[in-house]
Structure 1
């Protein structure tokens, strides 16, 4: 819930302009902010009393570094931090949606696919968090937010910095909310909390989501703690396999609980019937399953008793095999309202259009999905003749899309080097502290694997293709775990990838010195343009031919509904995702869905995401209209598109992330945007 800044609140912090308050907790205050023309972000500013403690700063610095490695699978991505600021702060993705406790308070307990979706989403987040070696420590309904109905977990990775600083914690104090704390957390001598405590919190959160009450509810925090330590959970109202999983997660003994990874495997095995989840959430869950290290606390706690841990590993493995054999492929359709009841899965629904994503397109000629930045060593990412990357000595990576790409994929980009001491670099399948790298140097092309323990060369080719100033078209494709590199259409290197634990991850572009120049502190530079990252699909189902495709906003003159992921007026750019937007009747007529009481036909408006995100240029003065201030006067017929003029800065702030607009383009340049109003 946003509220105005208070007297005494800073107007800015670390270059971010503070716009409103989002909340306040034991560690500090959370603000809504923005840097220049960037997206809205959430900024957590630490309280002054902790800022003066060097032990706290050290812990904060360490935990932030770990949190930065958490992949964005159902989590709010960590974007920036400054542990050395006068008041240390952390910047994360702003999730514009209600929290789980707000949803339950206003709408009552969740059920069926909606409850199962929350269970999968939170387990996906914990799998990603634990896989990066982080423990949340304060998982609760207030830290589960909904972005267009999809759950995202926030506030992970920094609670330990406070909890282990003895000056600020006492025998009767700890970080967290009592109702969601595992029994071992009440042991005054037990300071070595493991990821199993988060799994216990997952059980308590899902019990609350499904029943509207916590499973150990009592009249006071002390009485609640006593029930957690001595009594079984009250799960009245939960039924079926999900109730069994919640009960297992709430086991008193940490070793008797499944890990987050095992939990996610078992939840996905239940992804049928009333428990089916939508495609975006399912893909995030499957990517989380295949990335990271899936930390279970091994090495931090005693061996499990009676072989229970081994039993869970066997169950999880069997579940994974079952999922692969079944080829789960269910889809669900979302209503536009972020907290509306999800629609049932439609097993016969064809994939609409030709885009199956995730798919990223960016000319890299202006801020959009990539942005300007500098690093601590003088490296710089800027926009001049494309994305210009320079570094005085050490290799650097430019911040870009936070999307994760799994399976067969293609990465294409145009590359040129500034001098003979430079190598352009493509980082791919980056998850946690592991990734692959493609080095494009004046005399060699190389694929490397960088792991948590060691770095290895997967393959290299002596090719003098990248003379300074010569622009080359590079395509890196990965199919069936074989990476192939082509330059100007000719294959120059092909090698089998070596790490089976890295089937998915982020993509980034960077620059570094050649091997010969690494010890010379010689500056390196490179330019990249026309980036496109997409899945490799063998074919689109023939049934999709009867479905209207998504509008290709990159070409020609178009008018269509898109989802806005970021609008940057000063840079004259907007990041959009084409969607299908239609009434329930139109939707069911198009997709040949029979009208029933729970079908999409009964919905007022429906969207289908393309998952293709494109950065478009805007004209110098695009026509911008809105309904925000007065929908009754400014909503056009049929009450969907805004008609009243609005300024670019105000529209950018109001749209935030995932706002819907009607966009008009002329030869791929945006000339008008009108926000979409859904009553």
Structure 2
């Protein structure tokens, strides 16, 4: 691993460690080569000041480091020391003098024979150790596999969750990880379990054997679509690895083997073999994402759909990695790109961001219970005047609605300018997101059915992570939608009502709206 000289702003010592040079830098911090008092070489990751200033991050960092120290050093870089309370928190790990897997494949081409199986078995062994300690890596990729003499070593486990779990970074569903190695459930807001690491293992082994990832496409968005809907391209993978890799890449996390099952299959000497306790192989399922995911994505994803919601290798950077081991360059240390936050909060009980409005066709009335919207029959969309703030990029919209009349739909318009934008309609039996672009070609992007169990659920949340919108009702995820029209990249947020049937007035009451966004 190539080392660069220390820079003027780099510390010369931390705790019991003397820093010798710079090994690399990412969005979370810089990694330095150092020596302890006994003269042993170690690697120190120094956390960026903007994260160090957050008490919540420090707490998470401390907790995750303690868990990572419980991981036995079987094909992992041992966690040796850490000081979460230092002015600049740092983590000390075993120094491994060797190239990473991405460097090796880029320089020498795909791995074959013993070298390939060493990576497959070594990384599976590391995952068994990591998962056994109750840790999920979350960012397994070639850059995080170092080819030390003997077996490979997996690095950078145990601190990704410290970044991902802090409220500042999860408010708009930002994720820690690298797109090409992300399991489908990570892209559509599913639960993060050890199965996401098994999926990444399958992608990594395919990359090591072929020099490309099995869902590779021309753009990040197209790659995301393939992960969610397509079968992996395992052309060029040795026959005796293809079975276990294919099963690791199952769309449904329940259909993937555990890391221990993967390791058992590999060490039988016939990596395609299935040990008795491995679950039966699921049938091939072309375009196999879960129904809600399928509804949300058919024909919808276009350029930029998943860009800034993903952060690389424990790094908070508004870019994707290419999937071939290369990564976007983060902001330079000491000069972070910190976007300003916009926060709009209104109880809707008195004049403020929203104002009373009364016309012959509809009314928006502020009162002690919130904003009451009343409209005549057949009105195709009434919105109440609200804040003129134009928002772009990641944002979270939360609002409570109730007293919805029959044949009416609560309406939330966002990225809305003039007669164009996106809108969410929450009706008695369905919730949907639609686009109405300047061209006038209105179309539904994604929808989900509601039933009696949703009748009393009225806290609506729309989280937008760089063009992927996730909609929840009282915490239950109902749908995702891709906001892919470049003409609708920014706009205002308004509240309103749609009345579906003739002959009756429509009514809905909104309260406690909270809108947060970052813009840089």
TM-score normalized by structure 1?
0.40
Deviations 1:293-314 (A, max 9, x none): xxxxxxxxxxxxxxx9995269
Aligned residue number for residue 451 of structure 1: none
> Which 5+ residue runs of structure 1 have no aligned equivalent?
276-307, 316-679
- On the 8 A contact 1:256/1:309 being kept in 2, the answer is no
- On the 8 A contact 1:43/1:92 being kept in 2, the answer is yes
- On the 8 A contact 2:110/2:211 being kept in 1, the answer is yes
Deviations 1:367-419 (A, max 9, x none): xxxxxxxxxxxxxxxxxxxxxxxxxxxxxxxxxxxxxxxxxxxxxxxxxxxxx
Aligned residue number for residue 127 of structure 1: 128
Separation in 2, partners of 1:220, 1:171:
23
- 1:312 equivalenced with 2:278 (yes/no): yes
Instruction: Return structure 1 stretches of 4+ with deviation > 4 angstroms.
Output: 308-311
- On the 8 A contact 1:255/1:309 being kept in 2, the answer is no
Deviations 1:107-127 (A, max 9, x none): 111112221111000000000
SS at match of 1:155: coil
When residues 61 and 309 of structure 1 are mapped into structure 2, their CA distance, relative to the original with a 3 A threshold, is farther
Aligned residue number for residue 241 of structure 2: 242
- 1:266 equivalenced with 2:300 (yes/no): no
Aligned residue number for residue 66 of structure 1: 67
SS at match of 2:223: helix
Deviations 1:312-340 (A, max 9, x none): 2699xxxxxxxxxxxxxxxxxxxxxxxxx
**Alpha-carbon distance, 1:241 to partner:** 2.2
Aligned residue number for residue 231 of structure 1: 230
**Alpha-carbon distance, 1:24 to partner:** 1.1
**Alpha-carbon distance, 1:4 to partner:** 1.3
Q: How many residues align structurally?
A: 279
- On the 8 A contact 1:41/1:91 being kept in 2, the answer is yes
**Alpha-carbon distance, 1:76 to partner:** 0.6
SS at match of 2:175: coil
Separation in 2, partners of 1:225, 1:7:
40
SS at match of 2:278: helix
- 1:415-564 matched pairs, under 5 angstroms: none
SS at match of 2:99: coil
SS at match of 2:3: coil
Separation in 1, partners of 2:275, 2:146:
31
Deviations 1:199-245 (A, max 9, x none): 00000000000000011111222221111111111111013121111
- On the 8 A contact 2:123/2:154 being kept in 1, the answer is yes
SS at match of 2:204: helix
Separation in 2, partners of 1:183, 1:171:
18
Separation in 1, partners of 2:154, 2:43:
13
SS at match of 1:150: coil
**Alpha-carbon distance, 1:174 to partner:** 1.6
Deviations 1:253-290 (A, max 9, x none): 10100000111011001269xx9xxxxxxxxxxxxxxx
Separation in 1, partners of 2:98, 2:174:
31
Separation in 2, partners of 1:95, 1:244:
32
Separation in 1, partners of 2:240, 2:216:
23
Separation in 1, partners of 2:5, 2:102:
22
Separation in 2, partners of 1:224, 1:184:
14
Aligned residue number for residue 634 of structure 1: none
Separation in 2, partners of 1:310, 1:84:
48
**Alpha-carbon distance, 1:173 to partner:** 3.1
SS at match of 1:42: strand
Separation in 2, partners of 1:66, 1:5:
31
Separation in 2, partners of 1:28, 1:311:
42
Aligned residue number for residue 179 of structure 1: 180
Alpha-carbon RMSD = 2.1
Separation in 2, partners of 1:251, 1:209:
19
- On the 8 A contact 2:195/2:258 being kept in 1, the answer is yes
Aligned residue number for residue 58 of structure 2: 57
- 1:201 equivalenced with 2:167 (yes/no): no
Aligned residue number for residue 351 of structure 1: none
Separation in 1, partners of 2:279, 2:34:
43
SS at match of 1:23: strand
Aligned residue number for residue 11 of structure 2: 10
When residues 149 and 103 of structure 1 are mapped into structure 2, their CA distance, relative to the original with a 3 A threshold, is farther
SS at match of 1:216: coil
Separation in 2, partners of 1:144, 1:44:
16
**Alpha-carbon distance, 1:170 to partner:** 5.2
**Alpha-carbon distance, 1:15 to partner:** 2.5
SS at match of 1:119: helix
**Alpha-carbon distance, 1:172 to partner:** 6.2
**Alpha-carbon distance, 1:5 to partner:** 1.4
Separation in 1, partners of 2:239, 2:213:
18
> Which 5+ residue runs of structure 2 have no aligned equivalent?
282-520
Aligned residue number for residue 139 of structure 1: 140
- On the 8 A contact 1:258/1:309 being kept in 2, the answer is no
Separation in 1, partners of 2:150, 2:211:
18
Separation in 1, partners of 2:171, 2:225:
19
- 1:36 equivalenced with 2:28 (yes/no): no
Separation in 1, partners of 2:61, 2:120:
29
Separation in 1, partners of 2:256, 2:275:
8
Separation in 1, partners of 2:71, 2:277:
28
**Alpha-carbon distance, 1:185 to partner:** 0.6
TM-score normalized by structure 2?
0.52
Separation in 2, partners of 1:246, 1:171:
32
Aligned residue number for residue 100 of structure 2: 99
Separation in 2, partners of 1:100, 1:21:
20
Aligned residue number for residue 487 of structure 1: none
Separation in 1, partners of 2:92, 2:221:
34
- On the 8 A contact 2:261/2:275 being kept in 1, the answer is no
SS at match of 1:126: helix
Separation in 1, partners of 2:201, 2:218:
22
Separation in 1, partners of 2:119, 2:82:
29
- On the 8 A contact 1:5/1:19 being kept in 2, the answer is yes
Separation in 2, partners of 1:195, 1:242:
21
When residues 18 and 183 of structure 1 are mapped into structure 2, their CA distance, relative to the original with a 3 A threshold, is same
- On the 8 A contact 2:240/2:270 being kept in 1, the answer is no
